[in-house]
């Protein structure tokens, strides 16, 4: 989901939300339904059988007075995608610290818990089962990336626990899970955004280099279709084994195909190793890179800058990212909340301020605030009770007071006002699948690792390359 304060960018014209005209709701429902059904019938039964009291107290009757509520970060903390877990944990630490500083939720403080999925469904399922077997007062799950979401979302949903997931799998556009919420777009739309960036930069011939993990592979076919629709040429498509130590064969194939740019997502050491070997084999010349939003993270920058040189990376790198508010009333409390935890979050590396631009940093902060405010509004910590108020608070009702932080919104609720929360991720517009996703911007890095916003990608541009 991944510097100095990002350069402020003016909001895109009009409402910065996806409209139905650019939401690609393709016929993936049946394959995903089969996965979901299999998970519910077998994986969830395993969860239920692991402990007779595996359902947390908050899901079956509410937390006891004064007990801490747990926010679980279900994501990779080890393996090739290990940077994702700490990114989301930084958000959790920041958001819950701000909530607790205001007094918590209904007399409860919030605490964060790491659940390492290792980026593999086979590891994620027992990890989530153990989470429910061992964690009383589990109030919210965040994370659940594309690596494991298809396997764990049905389990979390069966335990009636609300979740804000960072998966981009477009199948979640079609299968309704009552406890599933998402503030990030399907991967296919992010693939379109990458192609738009390449087109805007004038590239006619591009290569693909994506990791062999589930999350990265979901970009490949949408990107191929968008490249064709845009009138561009696909030079080559290479798959990178994330546990590989060298990619000379793939690097040579890319060089020989003569692309003007490489569209890529291969987390861990894969992308930096590929970049270094391309530069070595290409007589010191670097091929420009267009990456997904996952590359906007301190670990990626640190590894890629080491492999290529900070100046070379800065002059040859672009990434799509969701449009976020980097000025205005929502940004200062968000910035203060995250930076208050600098040096306190296990597993975080590099320039901590980059988390202010990381997709997980922004949108999971909003998700945690929405959930905590919904608890206040419903006067309940039970997910099945407070869940519906997430949408009421996010989308608002006519005449609602707009507020921009947990403290401000909580005060408005206390005074009897109806509210509409708008955080740094911008306004929400949840659909019937609990999706609310914004449009994209284009980011670059400075040689020091600062994230710079250099443009916005409009809905019309996304539609123009959609197959």
8 A C-beta contact, residue 180 and residue 169 = no
- Distance separating alpha carbons of residues 230 and 333, to the nearest angstrom: 40
Dihedral angle over CA of 244, 248, 250, 253, nearest 10: -170
8 A C-beta contact, residue 308 and residue 286 = yes
Residue with tokens 């955004």: 193
Quote the pLDDT of residue 459.
82
Dihedral sign of CA atoms 230, 265, 214, 162 in order: negative
Residue with tokens 């510097």: 3
8 A C-beta contact, residue 396 and residue 459 = no
CA angle (215 as vertex; 424, 266 as ends), nearest 5: 95
Q: Band of the pLDDT at 208, cuts 50, 70, 90? A: very high
Between the two ends of the chain, the Cα-to-Cα distance in Å is 25
Residue 57 in this model has a pLDDT that exceeds 70: no
Residue 80 in this model has a pLDDT that exceeds 90: no
From residue 224, how far is each of 229, 458, 465, 466 by CA, in Å? 9, 20, 10, 10
8 A C-beta contact, residue 319 and residue 290 = yes
Radius of gyration of the chain (CA): 21
Residue 394 in this model has a pLDDT that exceeds 60: yes
8 A C-beta contact, residue 386 and residue 377 = yes
Average pLDDT, the chain: 87
- Distance separating alpha carbons of residues 110 and 92, to the nearest angstrom: 9
Q: Band of the pLDDT at 60, cuts 50, 70, 90? A: very low
Residue with the bigger pLDDT between 251 and 174: it is 251
- Looking at the DSSP assignment, which residues form a beta bridge with residue 256? none
Taking residues 8-13, report their average pLDDT: 31
- Looking at the DSSP assignment, which residues form a beta bridge with residue 211? 240
CA angle (151 as vertex; 149, 156 as ends), nearest 5: 75
User: Could you report the per-residue pLDDT of 320-376, keeping only the tens digit for each?
Assistant: 998 877 889 999 999 999 999 999 999 998 889 989 988 788 999 999 999 999 999
Quote the pLDDT of residue 7.
31
Q: Indicate the length of the chain as a whole number.
A: 467
Quote the pLDDT of residue 416.
96
Pairing verdict, β 205-211 and 401-403: unpaired
Residue 36 in this model has a pLDDT that exceeds 80: no
Residue 14 in this model has a pLDDT that exceeds 70: no
- Distance separating alpha carbons of residues 95 and 363, to the nearest angstrom: 11
Least confident of 60-69, 374-383, 384-393: 60-69
Q: Band of the pLDDT at 22, cuts 50, 70, 90? A: very low
8 A C-beta contact, residue 187 and residue 218 = yes
Helix (H, G, I), strand (E, B) or coil at 418: coil
Q: Band of the pLDDT at 8, cuts 50, 70, 90? A: very low
Residue with the bigger pLDDT between 236 and 39: it is 236
User: Could you report the per-residue pLDDT of 113-160, keeping only the tens digit for each?
Assistant: 999 999 999 999 999 999 999 999 999 999 999 899 999 999 999 999
Task: Give whichever of 4-13, 43-52, 76-85, 403-412 has the largest mean pLDDT.
Answer: 403-412
Taking residues 416-445, report their average pLDDT: 92
From residue 11, how far is each of 28, 57, 182, 351 by CA, in Å? 33, 42, 21, 26
Quote the pLDDT of residue 267.
87
Q: What is the per-residue burial (b if ≥16 Cβ within 10 Å, else e) of 62-77?
A: bbeeebebbbbbbbbb
Least confident of 291-295, 437-441, 452-456: 437-441
8 A C-beta contact, residue 43 and residue 151 = yes
Helix (H, G, I), strand (E, B) or coil at 302: helix
- Distance separating alpha carbons of residues 437 and 427, to the nearest angstrom: 9
Say what percent of the chain tops pLDDT 70: 87
Q: Band of the pLDDT at 51, cuts 50, 70, 90? A: very low
Q: How many other C-beta atoms can be found within 10 angstroms of the C-beta atom of residue 432?
A: 6
């Amino acid at each position: 989901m991944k510097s100095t304060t990002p350069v402020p960018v003016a909001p895109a014209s009009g409402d910065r939300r996806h409209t139905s005209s650019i939401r690609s709701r393709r016929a993936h429902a049946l394959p995903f339904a089969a996965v979901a059904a299999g998970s519910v019938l077998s994986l969830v039964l395993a969860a239920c059988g692991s402990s007779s009291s595996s359902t947390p107290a908050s899901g079956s009757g509410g937390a006891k007075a004064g007990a801490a509520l747990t926010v679980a970060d279900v994501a990779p903390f080890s393996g090739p995608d290990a940077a994702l877990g700490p990114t989301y944990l930084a958000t959790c630490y920041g958001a819950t610290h701000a909530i607790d500083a205001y007094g918590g939720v209904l007399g409860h403080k919030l605490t964060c818990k790491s659940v390492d999925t290792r980026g593999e469904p086979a590891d994620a399922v027992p990890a989530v089962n153990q989470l429910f077997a061992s964690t009383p007062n589990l109030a919210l799950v965040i994370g659940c990336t594309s690596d494991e979401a298809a396997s764990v979302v049905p389990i979390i949903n069966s335990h009636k626990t609300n979740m804000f997931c960072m998966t981009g799998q477009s199948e979640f556009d079609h299968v309704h899970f009552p406890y599933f919420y998402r503030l990030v777009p399907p991967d296919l739309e992010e693939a379109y955004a990458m192609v738009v960036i390449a087109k805007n930069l004038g590239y006619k011939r591009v290569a693909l280099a994506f990791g062999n993990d589930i999350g990265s592979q979901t970009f490949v076919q949408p990107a191929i279709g968008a490249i064709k629709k845009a009138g561009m040429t696909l030079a080559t498509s290479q798959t990178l084994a994330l546990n590989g130590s060298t990619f000379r064969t793939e690097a040579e194939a890319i060089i020989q195909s003569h692309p003007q740019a490489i569209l890529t997502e291969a987390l861990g050491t894969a992308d930096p190793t590929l970049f270094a070997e391309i530069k070595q084999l290409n007589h010191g010349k670097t091929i420009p890179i267009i990456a997904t939003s996952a590359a906007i993270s301190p670990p990626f920058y640190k590894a890629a800058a080491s492999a290529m040189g900070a100046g070379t990376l800065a002059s040859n790198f672009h990434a799509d990212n969701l449009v976020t508010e980097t000025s205005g009333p929502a940004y200062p409390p968000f910035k203060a909340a995250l930076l208050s935890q600098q040096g306190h979050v296990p597993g975080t590396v590099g320039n901590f301020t980059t988390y202010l631009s990381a997709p997980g940093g922004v949108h999971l902060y909003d998700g945690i605030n929405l959930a905590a405010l919904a608890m206040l509004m419903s006067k309940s910590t039970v997910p099945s009770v407070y869940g519906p108020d997430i949408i009421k608070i996010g989308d608002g009702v006519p005449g609602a007071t707009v507020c921009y932080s947990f403290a401000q919104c909580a005060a408005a609720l206390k005074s009897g006002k109806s509210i509409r929360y708008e955080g740094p991720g911008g306004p929400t517009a949840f659909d019937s699948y609990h999706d609310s996703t914004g449009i994209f911007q284009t980011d670059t890095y400075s040689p020091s690792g600062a994230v710079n916003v250099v443009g916005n990608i409009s809905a019309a541009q996304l539609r123009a390359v959609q197959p």
